[in-house]
Amino acid sequence: METFRVQSREFEYNVIVGTGAWRSLRDFPLHGYSSVFVISEEALWCRWKGEFLKEAGLRRVQTLWVRPGERSKSLRVMQRLAAELLLRQADRRSLLILFGGGVIGDLGGFLASIYMRGVDCIHVPTTLLAQVDSSIGGKTAVNLGATKNLIGTFHPARLVLSEPRVLGSLSRRDFRSGLYEVVKHGILDGPELFGRLEQSLSSLRRDLAEELETILAPAVKVKVDVVNRDEREAGLRAVLNLGHTFGHALEEATGYRRFLHGEAVAWGLLGVSRLGRRLGLLPESDAGRIDELVRRLGPLPRIDDLDARRVLPLLPQDKKAVAGKVRWVIPERIGKVRQISEASGVAVAAAFRDIQKMGNDPT
């Protein structure tokens, strides 16, 4: 088990990764809170609540349900949860435990940040994506119409508990989707982590917690390090958008129905690998290793049927863009990325054509 310390603007908190992480809740000063609420999905909670409550040493918790799926990340659902909290007399000293994946974390974190001008929350991420990425750093969000994460806050958790065992109940596809974010962290981190991923990632079993832990902890560390240096995304944190520029456009073009988030990021990684090549920024050898690792993890939903004229105009709507520009994060080698604001439309379109052709010719 590993503990990482995250410095947020207002306080420090621990991200605890590894088998037995839930037990750490026993050391958390719960007595300071007037009440504890769990926000989760019903099926997920029913599967794990026995073990979680026992290990965490919790008794009296109240539960609030959220339906699985991105559509729950809305102001409407947030409003319903706030009304339920009020009805159950949650006050400023209540604590929210967010038990679930990215949707629960983003939505519940947003709720925690604005209910009575802010209550504390603890993240208990249950997907690979949430464990290595969204639970760390305090970003919260809901969608507005088709625009993802338009509304949100920075509201770090007081504690993040990442138990790899819980990943055993993920579907194969959900698990794989999270692996692509791990690959992203490998590209950001450097040859050592990336090399380990090349050796183990495609054979990694989601039900072997000990094995998972060896990948999980370094992947978490990448995120923690970035957040510690740039909590509010003044600049550096934007490197985490690696693969997300194409990714978001693909998700939006398909109405968030075709891809899991990590799958869209996977195409995005392939896209910036190609774009980096075309711009002369990324050597062929590194591009090849990135492509190879992404493709080896398994099949991705197709993109060859998408019309580039529909997808590419969606790029500037990425909310990281300032005044209409697209800011790309491009790998220069494994372990180094560069942010650029000027990539020619021709190069971008060509890179997108490249990955569309890959789709026709899966390895």
The answer for residues whose C-beta is within 8 angstroms of residue 308's C-beta and 6 or more apart is 349, 352, 353, 356
Going from the C-alpha of 356 to that of each of 258, 305, 347, the distances in angstroms are 15, 8, 14
Site stretch for its own copies (CB under 8 A), options 109-117, 175-183, 208-216, 256-264: 109-117
Q: Is residue 153 part of the contact set for its own copies (CB under 8 A)? A: yes
1 binds its own copies (CB under 8 A): no
Dihedral angle, C-alpha 286, 289, 291, 296, nearest 10 °: -170
**Binding residue for its own copies, selected from 14, 24, 40, 113, defined by CB under 8 A:** 113
> Is position 92 an interface residue for its own copies (rule: CB under 8 A)?
yes
Instruction: Answer yes or no whether residue 115 interacts with its own copies by CB under 8 A.
Output: yes
Q: Strand pairing partners for 123?
A: 98, 160
Q: Write out the two tokens for 86.
A: 């009020």
> Minimum distance from CB of 276 to its own copies (Å)?
26
Q: 303-322: which residues touch its own copies (CB under 8 A)?
A: 319, 321-322
Calpha distance 69→77 (Å, rounded): 12
State the Cα–Cα distance between residues 287 and 33, nearest whole angstrom.
50
Restricted to residues 132-151, the positions that interact with its own copies (CB under 8 A) are 139-141, 144-145, 147, 150-151
- In angstroms, the CA 142 to CA 302 distance is 27
By the rule CB under 8 A, 88 interacts with its own copies: no
Handedness of CA 215, 216, 217, 221 (dihedral sign): positive
The catalytic site residues sit at: 117, 139, 181, 223, 233, 237, 241, 244, 248, 261
Minimum Å gap between C-beta 339 and its own copies is 15
For its own copies, the binding residues (CB under 8 A) are 9-10, 34, 75, 79, 82-83, 86, 89, 91-93, 110, 113-118, 139-141, 144-145, 147, 150-154, 319, 321-324
